[in-house]
Structure 1
């Protein structure tokens, strides 16, 4: 873990030399949702491969860069594309950027994703405020020696998603006349989409949506003491009893159609934060 801490400091130091302002809010932009970064003013763009110890995103639709600057009057640092456990990276690699954001001064993190809807009352294109999660990945980024400078050995996850920021999100949605869902995100390892039986199981366990990201980053964000808001874009319905085939292209298509409302919502949330 000491080795991890030194890597975090080295990566953060490399970025500090390029940043004009200290970021206060971190953004992790998921599949098809990266265009929000294009609206950041006075932006500095840094490819992941140019940051010491950063992995490189291999997923189609992920730009693979950090974008920093001002958005809605807030200093932000955005990940335009994230890393996934299924790409072959360790959980520590997947969550490394969150550690670096914390080191740079970020205190709040907005995590977004594209996901499958399991709650039958949801529809493709819905935006959902995450209230909690199920870690069904079979792994945890905190396994191994713990460095108290990075966070406590046994971090509390009872309020992994800030209730205050959830209220801000719902208020922003109301102001924009956007109807927001809320619910539990079930995080799986992927990369395959789930079987009908697995989807029925996750729904019975309390999951409202299912996806292949977010949970590791949120665990580490809480370990690091960051306040977290999670927003999911429901791109398809993954209801076990009525399951139909789904492809990554279809996920990107729905995420792209939903993008204007998503961008509008996140910008309003930032205004109110």
Structure 2
């Protein structure tokens, strides 16, 4: 296994493995597909290569049900570009460290990607967003207490979630709403008090992924779009107890619709 003590070297080693496996010099766009979003890869075009995450330096098999265990190269039918589909996502709560969380994003940049789409399943604070509602991320609150950036590297996060890419998404679906996403550390769900706090701070969505990857993406020079699937109302807003089974069920129910939406958006990027 590659030593992650040098994140740049680890990313380049992984990128070399992925590009070589696909038989291409570089990829163009990367997608991290969270709960409910996995079907989009099949709609983009032909899968020209696939490799187990365990065979790529620095990657791990996913610890969460509903997440993929492979890295795929898909030739986008509409453009001929190559998409790198990162089915193996490391969450901060897995305890592997923030470098492991950011490794996929850094690998995408090292593999030649210029843009990135991050997706997730999350809790919603807006009662108008029923389970199964996709919401564009306009900004975020990183409540993990850490950062993927090390040393005196002061990275500007203004317009982190690309206005250009969000505008393209709204061309595809003008009904898409936008919201601020707050990442908690997890793996426990947020308490009702924490959800109220997040709302006071300006959050519309709460979850356990995405912000650390987004920060790493900006440092790596990737243009970024984030889109969440509301799988449930957040604690204290939803009257019933939260469960991961509920997240999986909501993702499965919404999957055909949101996968088509995401594939159509990516084809225009």
**TM-score over 0.5 (shorter chain):** yes
2:240 matches 1:244 = yes
**Structure 2: 5+ residue stretches without partners:** none
Aligned equivalents of 1:256 and 1:98: distance in 2? Answer: 25
**Among residues 113, 122, 129, which one is paired with 2:129 in the alignment?**
122
Equivalent residue pairs, number:
262
* CA–CA distance in structure 1, aligned partners of residues 197 and 239 of structure 2: 14
Question: Which residue does the alignment assign to 2:159?
Answer: 159
Pair 1:51–1:158, CA change in 2 (3 A): same
Q: Which runs of 4+ in 1 moved over 4 A?
A: none
Report 1:127-142 matches (<5 A): 127-142=134-149
Instruction: Name the SS for the 1:86 alignment partner.
Output: helix
Provide the rounded CA distance (Å) in 1 between the counterparts of 2:199 and 2:218: 25
Aligned to 1:60: 65
Counterpart of 2:170?
A: 170
Shift of 1:120: 2.7
Pick one of 189, 194, 219 that aligns with 2:190: 194
Number of the residue aligned with 1:149: none
The 8 Å contact of residues 106 and 216 in structure 2, kept in 1 or not, is answered as yes
| Deviations, residues 49-77 of structure 1 (Å, cap 9, x unaligned) | 00012233111111211010212433100
CA distance in 2, matches of 1:258, 1:27: 18
For 1:268 and 1:50, the matched residues in 2 are separated by 30
The SS at the match of 1:219 is helix
Give the match for residue 50 of structure 2.
45
The alpha carbon displacement at 1:119 in A equals 1.9
Q: Which residue of 1 aligns with 2:83?
A: 76
SS in 2 for 1:6: helix
User: Quick one: distance in 2 between partners of 1:258 and 1:58?
Assistant: 22
